[in-house]
Structure 1
Amino acid sequence: MSQLESVFQRCGCRDATTRRQLNEKCPGLTEPEHGSWYFTAYVPTMTGGRTRVRRGGYGSRGAAEQARLELLAMPENRAAGQTLTLQRWLGQWLTTIEGQIRPTTMRSYREHVHNYLIPAIGHIELANLRACHVQAAFLNIGTRRTTSGRLLAASTQNRIRATLRSALSEAVRQDFISLNPASRIRLPKPYKVHPVLWTAAREAEWRATGVRPAVAVWTRQQLVAFLKTIRNDPHFALWWLVALTGLRRGEVAALRWTDIDLHDATLTVKEQIVVVDGQDVVGPPKSASSCRTIALDATTLRLLRNEWRLHHRVLRETGRNPDGYLFVNAKGQPLRPDYLTRRLGKLIANADLPPVRLHDLRHGAASLALAAGVDLKVVQHLLGDSSIITTADIYTTVLSEASRNAAEATASFILDAARTRLSLGGASQA
């Protein structure tokens, strides 16, 4: 039969001289078990046109004809899903969501799609993608290493899977496929790295070997030593604010004077600055709960008034900083988040203190607030965490003083009861 017909038979035999495939011209096709049956059909595309689809490997003409009829009977979108590779669908999906999500999330989606998903399974047709394909892909992805030589973290694998699941959920919603194969695979559970305190023992180990905890926060005494050392830094108010309130680096960089109410002693977080492809982008905070109003203490208010008097008023009079950012450089431009990270590292090194990241100051602010007896719900609001469980799970692990006091209080409670009972018992026997 001609390949132009809707159902035809062919095989993989080759001509003995030319080594070309004989396809439908093979004389062996007259034998019942030789070759396979194929069909062609024209189906809609996702752009509204039509394209030719060919399927093969069927054991009989009847099976090929039945498969063709089933394809033609599909709804338009489901039929269009037969013409798409996963690579094409992921590209279309990224185009569709552009501008609808946060820039940092979009950047992560692109990295996941182009660095991991397309190389692994982009060639598979969307309609033929199965959970076994996705599972095999992630077994391979899990063997890849980062630039530091470490295996890809379980948390990263789960984020990549979340990207694929989101893209395929949209394909299900648009009826290109019926099930989401990314939701049916197993991945390693992410390992939570909890912050620990820079105790004297940990500091001594770090100074001797250079080995440090993945996430560590300063003690109250270490924080005080840092603040004393940087007292004359031009942006002392910024470091003080982060250390006390736990603002994220993008949040503190995006603060404007209109976000500060010196009369009511409050600070409102409305925006953040994030770095995307080397560019600073102003956008909404990390989550809805990150939009928050924070009460300010008297010392912080005094520092902010000094900031206004010494810096902002001069900048305003010279026409710099027209957008009214709270913390700016000499040119009146907002401080970049990556600059804050580098600057903090230099200040810590000069102070000869154990290293912490800028985000670790956030951990420290929460831990100190909890150690000072601040209610957990208040600390959650201070940080802008979406869940109080997150606040409790992460930050209470570093409260060595509070934990020690709690342990002593619990032990005393039991011992006091035991002593009372023993003394009563002794009196009754006398």
Structure 2
Amino acid sequence: MIKKYTTKNGETRYLFQTYLGIDPLTGKERRTTRRGFKTIKEAKQAERNLLLDVEENGLPSGKTKTTFKEIASLWFESYQNTVKPTTAKNLKSKLDTMIENYFEDIQINDITVVFCQDLFLKLSKKYVMYASYTSILNRIMRYAVLLDIINNNPLDKVIKPKSKEIQKKENYYTKEELNKFLTVAKKDSSQVFYTLTHTIAYTGLRIGEALALRWSDINFKDKMISVNHTLVTIDGEQVLQSPKTKASKRTISVDQYTLKFLKDWQLEQKKEFFKLGKPYLHDDNFIFTNSTGTVYVPTEIGKILRRLIKRNNLKPISPHGLRHTHASLLFESGIQPKEISDRLGHNNIRTTLDLYTHINDNQRSNAVDKFIAFMS
């Protein structure tokens, strides 16, 4: 549509208003107005040139005001279908925090290198693991480049601040500390809690993997446990999903003492189900059930553990620390890293070695002692 108008100087000029199409990003109609043409012919020619350009190259990205939040939402919609629900939920929480604190109503074209450099500094001061936040930001900005929303990624020019050094707490027990803990747990906790903590400490299972176990996963004859699922909490509901990584789906050997405790608990569980008036499903039943006959929630185990430790003045440790304890003791007993990696369900041996550097340091000292003893 061509219209005539008069400028402030009293000159006659022409403008055109035209429909460009549907924006694939927003799903809304795109229209534009161009003005300043001296003749109708110039206005019509400019309109034809614009429509031809749109037909050949698509809608001009720079003309639509798009917020970072809109691009982030579009990116997350695709991303969440590529990962586990728990991973998506954790990332979404961080993304929402960043948007609320730093990107509310900010146009993605207004995000500059200076803005990003300042943001990196703020994040590095606020979070020890700030790189997990900047990684999300980088993926969204790369996505915007891919969609031709922006020409380049400003994060490519940012100088990354050094991360704060993490003061790691000792979240594992020595052999003596573990024996003391298990002795106390046997006397001062329920049979199911003792069986659970003993099983984790003697198998290295993750807490979610242990709670997801059914009796059908225990092969008492061949002394094996099959890890096929992990129990996670999503929006307040307990959900079974595949283990953390591909290597986490595994079968591990179990000692006879752990199997005895499991067998004893199975007999007791049957009695408890009978008292509750619940049908006992044998192989299909979850192993670690609470007083109501339902599977424990991971956070519930953490609370029970903290109370037990405080009550008996023991060294503080988390449920995951019992898994670390198992790995540490495997190293100290001389088991090869590759075997430990397989048992723990790590994707590669590097992960195992990086997690247990404190044991590696001990082994380095032992290596010197063994060398000197050999030379003597």
Q: Using the alignment, how far apart are the partners of 1:135 and 1:321 within structure 2? A: 60
What's the counterpart of residue 45 of structure 1? 23
Q: Does the aligned pair in 2 maintain the 1:327–1:334 contact within 8 Å?
A: yes
Q: Given the alignment of the two structures, is residue 328 of structure 1 paired with residue 289 of structure 2, yes or no?
A: yes
What RMSD, in angstroms, separates the aligned Cα atoms of the two structures? Answer: 3.9
Q: Given the alignment of the two structures, is residue 101 of structure 1 paired with residue 86 of structure 2, yes or no?
A: no
What's the counterpart of residue 284 of structure 1? 242
The worse-fitting range, judged by mean Cα deviation, of 168-177 and 98-107 is 168-177
SS of 1:142 mapped into structure 2 = helix
Q: Kindly state the Cα deviation for residue 137 of structure 1 after the two structures are TM-superposed.
A: 2.6
Q: Using the alignment, how far apart are the partners of 2:60 and 2:367 within structure 1? A: 61
Q: Given the alignment of the two structures, is residue 239 of structure 1 paired with residue 203 of structure 2, yes or no?
A: no
The worse-fitting range, judged by mean Cα deviation, of 44-53 and 270-279 is 44-53
Q: How does 1:72-151 map to 2 (within 5 A)?
A: 72=54, 75-76=57-58, 79=61, 82-117=64-99, 119-126=101-108, 129-143=111-125, 151=126
Q: Using the alignment, how far apart are the partners of 1:183 and 1:384 within structure 2? A: 35
Q: Does the aligned pair in 2 maintain the 1:270–1:284 contact within 8 Å?
A: yes
Q: Kindly state the Cα deviation for residue 270 of structure 1 after the two structures are TM-superposed.
A: 1.5
Q: Kindly state the Cα deviation for residue 267 of structure 1 after the two structures are TM-superposed.
A: 0.9
- Pick closer, same or farther for the CA change 1:88–1:401 going to 2, 3 Å: closer
Q: Kindly state the Cα deviation for residue 354 of structure 1 after the two structures are TM-superposed.
A: 1.5
Q: How does 1:195-274 map to 2 (within 5 A)?
A: 214-232=169-187, 233=189, 234=191, 235-274=193-232
SS of 1:51 mapped into structure 2 = strand
Q: Using the alignment, how far apart are the partners of 1:311 and 1:112 within structure 2? A: 41
Q: Deviations over 1:332-380 (max 9, x none)?
A: 1101000111111112122321211222222111110010111111111
What's the counterpart of residue 135 of structure 2? 162
AA in 1 matched with 2:239: V
Q: Using the alignment, how far apart are the partners of 1:382 and 1:54 within structure 2? A: 66
- Pick closer, same or farther for the CA change 1:321–1:194 going to 2, 3 Å: farther
Q: Kindly state the Cα deviation for residue 320 of structure 1 after the two structures are TM-superposed.
A: 4.6
Q: Does the aligned pair in 2 maintain the 1:81–1:126 contact within 8 Å?
A: no
Q: Using the alignment, how far apart are the partners of 1:119 and 1:108 within structure 2? A: 17
- Please report the TM-score for the alignment, with normalisation by the length of structure 2: 0.79
Q: Does the aligned pair in 1 maintain the 2:223–2:254 contact within 8 Å?
A: yes
Give the number of equivalent residue pairs. Answer: 356
SS of 1:305 mapped into structure 2 = helix
What's the counterpart of residue 127 of structure 2? 152
- Pick closer, same or farther for the CA change 1:54–1:86 going to 2, 3 Å: farther
Question: 5+ unaligned residues in a row in structure 2: which ranges?
Answer: 12-16, 36-45
Q: Given the alignment of the two structures, is residue 389 of structure 1 paired with residue 344 of structure 2, yes or no?
A: no
- Pick closer, same or farther for the CA change 1:263–1:158 going to 2, 3 Å: same
Q: Does the aligned pair in 2 maintain the 1:169–1:180 contact within 8 Å?
A: yes
AA in 2 matched with 1:238: L
Q: Using the alignment, how far apart are the partners of 1:136 and 1:53 within structure 2? A: 35
Q: Kindly state the Cα deviation for residue 287 of structure 1 after the two structures are TM-superposed.
A: 1.4
- Pick closer, same or farther for the CA change 1:189–1:141 going to 2, 3 Å: closer
Identity %: 25
AA in 2 matched with 1:268: S
Q: Using the alignment, how far apart are the partners of 2:201 and 2:363 within structure 1? A: 19
